[in-house]
Amino acid sequence: MKRNFKKDFTLLALLLIPIGVAINFVGFQVAQILRLPIFLDTIGTILVGVIAGPLVAIVAAFITNSITAIFNPIYFPYVITSMAIGLGAGLLSKFGMFRTIYKAIISGLIITAIAVVASAPITVLFFGGATGNTSSAITATFLAMGQNIWSAVFTSTIITEIADKVISVLFVYFIVKSISDRYLSKMKYGHMYMKKSNRNR
C-alpha cells in the first residue's frame, strides 16, 4: 500500500493536482458566466481520476473543498461527495470505462449514482434537506406533496446531478482525447488513451 501510494504520486501527478483543482473552480465560474443551469464543478476531479488514478483524484477533491471552505466553510461536509467522485472516476478509468463514448456515458451515470449516494445523506443530516440551491426548491415541492425527507432529497439530487455529471464526464472524455501522447505516456492510466496504442488494438 505504502509503495503503491508513492508510485501514484509522481512529480507530474503532484503538479496535475493544482491544475485539476483550478479546473473545478474555473469550470464552475464559466458555467456561471454563461448562466448554465448546472454546476460543472467536478470536471477537474474527474479528469485527474481518469489519467492519474483514484488516489491523486481524492487528494485533488480534498484540496478543492478545503479551498472552497476558506470562502464558505458550511459546504465542507460535501468533501465526502467530491472524494467519492474522484475515487469512482479513477476506478472506472482503471477498468477502461472511459475508452469509448458509450462507456463514458455509462461512467457518467455511475458517477451520478455515486454523487447522489454520497451527498443526499449529508444534505439531510447536516442541513435538514435544504441548502438553498436549485434542488432545494424541488425538494420542498416533493415534501409538500407528502414524500418523506429521504426520498424527497434523493429524487431532487438525482434530477440536479444527472445532467451535470454526464456532461462533465463527456467533457473529460473529449479533453483526454486531445491531450498529447507525450504527456499521457507519463501518467498512470495514460497509455489507455494514447492514439498510438489505440491503432494497434
* Cβ proximity to other proteins, 47 vs 84, nearer residue: 47
Ranges within 83-112 binding other proteins (CB under 8 A): none
Which of 1, 2, 102, 178 touches other proteins by CB under 8 A?
178
Per-position x/- string for 131-160, each x denoting binding to other proteins as judged by CB under 8 A, each - no binding: xx---x--xx--xx---xx-----------
* Cβ proximity to other proteins, 95 vs 174, nearer residue: 174
Contacts 24+ apart (CB under 8 A), 24-29: 24/60, 24/64, 25/64, 25/67, 27/168
Q: What is the DSSP letter of 160?
A: H
Computed on alpha carbons and rounded to an integer, the radius of gyration of the chain in Å comes to 17
Three cell numbers, residue 121: 445523506
* Cβ proximity to other proteins, 4 vs 29, nearer residue: 29
Cα distance between residue 34 and residue 201, in whole Å: 40
Decide: 105 and 170 in contact? Cβ < 8 Å. Answer: yes
Taking CA atoms, 38 is separated from 147, 161, 167, in Å, by 25, 8, 9
Per-position x/- string for 41-80, each x denoting binding to other proteins as judged by CB under 8 A, each - no binding: --x---x-----------x---x--xx-xxxxxx-x----
Interface contacts to other proteins, rule CB under 8 A: 9, 11-12, 14-19, 21-23, 25-27, 29-31, 33-36, 40, 43, 47, 59, 63, 66-67, 69-74, 76, 126-132, 136, 139-140, 143-144, 148-149, 171, 174-175, 178-180, 183
